[in-house]
């Protein structure tokens, strides 16, 4: 049995139009408000989406990669990412959970009290901001939110 993240839907933001979109690992830069700090990238097309579903199947990661049409090796100029990157990340999540990404962590839609130091900023949120239009604009897409909470000495 393996677990992986697949695109759950096209809600809020979804630039990925793959029929079978498997989430890749976070590729967060120093501008998390652009989307790299709160969107999930597809391993196949590299385009972003907001919501991912935890999927558990009786297969192997190699079979999953073949079924998804992922190349055996990264194209020139791209980093090769192992298909099983999410295995340790998903240990605490159950099949069917819908997750969002925020600054280094994955959260269920109903998670509350998000108090943690992310990769870029320190967060103290009452809920995930991805589903509330006001939070979406004042947190996720607002550079001021991120800069005011930037962690000192972040790598």
Q: How confident is the model at residue 29 (pLDDT cuts 50, 70, 90)?
A: confident
Evaluate if residue 8 carries a pLDDT over 90: yes
Rg (CA), the chain: 16
Q: How far is CA 144 from CA 11, 29, 118, 138, in A?
A: 25, 16, 16, 9
Q: Are 100 and 51 in contact (CB under 8 A)?
A: yes
Contacts of 43 (CB under 8 A, 6+ apart): 21, 22, 23, 24, 68, 70, 81, 83
Q: How confident is the model at residue 138 (pLDDT cuts 50, 70, 90)?
A: confident
pLDDT at 102: 97
Instruction: Write down the domain spans for the chain.
Output: 2-109
Q: How confident is the model at residue 11 (pLDDT cuts 50, 70, 90)?
A: very high
pLDDT at 134: 82
pTM, rounded to two decimals: 0.90
pLDDT at 70: 77
Could you tell me what percent of the chain has a pLDDT over 70? 92
pLDDT in tens, 75-121: 666 656 678 888 999 999 999 999 999 999 999 999 999 999 999 99
């Amino acid at each position: 049995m393996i677990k992986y993240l697949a695109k759950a839907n096209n809600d809020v933001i979804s630039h990925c139009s793959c029929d079978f979109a498997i989430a890749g690992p976070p590729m967060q830069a120093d501008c998390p408000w652009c989307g790299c700090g709160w969107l999930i990238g597809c391993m196949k097309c590299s385009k972003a989406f907001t919501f991912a579903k935890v999927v558990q199947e009786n297969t192997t990661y190699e079979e999953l990669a073949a079924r998804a049409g992922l190349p055996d090796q990264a194209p020139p100029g791209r980093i090769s990412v192992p298909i099983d990157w999410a295995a340790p990340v998903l240990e605490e999540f159950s099949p069917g959970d819908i997750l969002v990404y925020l600054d280094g962590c994955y959260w269920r839609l109903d998670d509350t009290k998000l108090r943690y130091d992310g990769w870029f900023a320190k967060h103290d949120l009452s809920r995930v901001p991805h589903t509330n239009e006001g939070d979406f604009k004042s947190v996720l897409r607002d550079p001021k939110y991120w800069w005011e909470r930037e962690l000192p000495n972040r790598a």
